[in-house]
Amino acid sequence: MTPTPAGRLLGTATGRDLILTRHFRAPIADVWDSLTESERSARWFGPWKGESGTGRTIQVQMSFEETQPWMDMHIDVCEPPRRLGLSAVDEWGSWVLEVTLTEDASGTELVFTHHLTPDVDVSSVGPGWEYYLDNWVAAFDDDPLPAFDDYYPSMKPYYEELAAASGTTE
C-alpha cells in the first residue's frame, strides 16, 4: 500500500510550520512512553541516552538512517504526558520539533510540528517525517515497519506543491 501524504504547512510569525497528525488507539500514557522511553523509541526512530528533563541535552541515534548517526538534542519542553519539544543543530540545519498528545474516547491524537527555518526544503523533510511517524504507528501496533522508498521520492511533489501554495520555494 502506497502511503498518502498528509502534512500541512502553516505560516507563522517567524516562518512556517510543517504539521502532521497520527492517531493511536491507546491511552495517552502509553503513547507518551513510546516517545520518551529509549527502548521503545528505538523501535521506530532510535534509542537515546542521557538524563532527560526540560533544559537537558540527550544523545539520540537515528537508527533508520544509513549511517545511524548520533546527535545531540536539547529538551526545550517536557510536560508529561502531553508535550515534548526538542531542538538540534547538525550539518543538515536546525531542527525545532514539537509533539503534542491529546486523549479522547477513541484514543490519543498526536500532532507533530517541525518549526521550519527558511532554508529547510520541505519537499525533503516532509516525506521523512511521514515515514518516521508511520514507523511509530507501526511499531506501536507491532505491525511491519514501512519502507522509506515508499515515501521518498514519491511524496516529494506533494510537498513541493505545498511549499508553492504557501508562497515559499523551499
Closest residue by Cα to residue 128 from 71, 38, 64: 64
C-alpha cell at 30: 502509553
Say which range, 11-15, 69-73, 133-137, has the weakest mean pLDDT: 11-15
Position 93 scores a pLDDT of 76
Mean pLDDT of the chain: 94
Position 84 scores a pLDDT of 98
Task: Give percent of the chain above pLDDT 70.
Answer: 98
* Predicted confidence (pLDDT) per residue in 134-158, tens digit: 999 999 999 999 999 999 999 999 9
- Per the CB < 8 A criterion, the answer to whether 61 and 68 are in contact is yes
Structural domains in the chain plus CATH codes: 8-164 (3.30.530.20)
- pTM for the model: 0.94
